[in-house]
Amino acid sequence: MEKIRIGIIGSGSWATAIAKIVTDNGHSITWWVRQQANIEYFIKRHHNPHYLRNSYFDVSKISFSAAVKEVVDQSDIIIIAVPSIHIAAALEGLEAQAFINKKVVSAVKGVMPKYNILLNEYLAKQFNVPLENYFTLLGPSHAEEVAAEQLSYLTFSGVNINHTKEVAAYFETEYINTRINNDVIGVQYAGVAKNIYALGAGIAHGLEYGDNFLSVFIANAANEMANLLSAIMQSSNKDCQQMNYTASVYLGDLLVTCYSLHSRNRTFGNMIGKGYSVRAAELELNMVAEGYNASKCIMVINETLKVELPIIKAIYQILWEGHDPVATFKDIEKILV
């Protein structure tokens, strides 16, 4: 395989898991870690001081930097793996042509709050990144299982299938199987929606609903998500008939995020169901639950699409308008089929 320079922006659990995959595959990386103290700890102890602490790295394969410009300048492929709410701050200070002739891989699972747009739209506006140079990296996969080298599947999406295959090849390991998809926009919205539904699944669990109810809730969520994705495809004048919304990057990611104890969105929702306020749940979790901001973003986006999204609307009302979870889920019970 041609030697290529890979950069990673972000140092949370998912960024750390991605760094493990790439370095396990024999590639050196340039890695942006925001705080110099964390870099020094990493170099000394060979593991992330805050996330996936049992994953040890060959630091001779890693060039750390606290300057995002340095990582971008030194890389041919840049993987962005920071929470959507922090993207603008992370890329602040980069010149408009910073990503010219570079491939950008999004490992972000959210809409950018305040902007209500996907990462590819933001990069196009701020840095003139064409969609042809933009790829997505999505699950179903939890960082914890990747770190434990349990078999996981990653789906890479891009408008050019051959270029997408080239990018995916850098991630193929004994414990990672890669799949290819050309639905760049749809997979991103699926990644956004599944986090909202996982919050709902967590709320249901916190309210002491059982597995029987949860299975019906998720089945209805899958149908609602398919309706949302179809509307997005139609608004882009693309044929939604060719999309298999039961594939792993759609349904599989929804299932694992709703059911798994590793899911921070499910955990966040569970706290809400048990009576925590949103702020208290944020402080307790100490990690970003993408579904919280995503629920508001999707409601704004849907003002144009006008899709019936009763589950997402109900979760938004609980999180942002202070609706009672018990009463709201009683209403949800009536609409499930």
Catalytically active residues are 194
Q: Determine contact, residues 25/170, Cβ cutoff 8 Å.
A: yes
318 and 325 in contact (C-beta within 8 Å)?
A: yes
**What is the DSSP code string of 13-53?**
HHHHHHHHHHHHTT--EEEE-S-HHHHHHHHHHSS-SSS-T
CB atoms within 10 A of CB 60: 8
Q: Which residue's structure tokens are 């998500």? A: 225
What is the mean pLDDT for each group of 10 consecutive residues in the chain (337 residues)? Answer: 85 95 94 94 94 93 96 97 94 94 94 93 97 96 94 96 96 96 95 97 98 98 96 76 86 96 94 95 85 95 96 98 97 97
pLDDT recorded at residue 289: 86
Q: State how far the Cα of 261 lies from the Cα of 273, in Å rounded to an integer.
A: 15
Structural class in CATH, domain 185-335: mainly alpha
**pLDDT reported for residue 237:** 67
Separation between Cα atoms, residue 202 and residue 126, nearest integer Å: 36
Integer Cα distance of 96 and 73 in angstroms? 13
**pLDDT confidence of residue 3:** 77
Amino acid 104: pLDDT: 98
Give domain limits for the chain: 6-182, 185-335
- Identify the pLDDT of residue 285: 85
The pLDDT value given to residue 234: 87
Give the fold, CATH level 3, of 6-182: Rossmann fold (3.40.50)
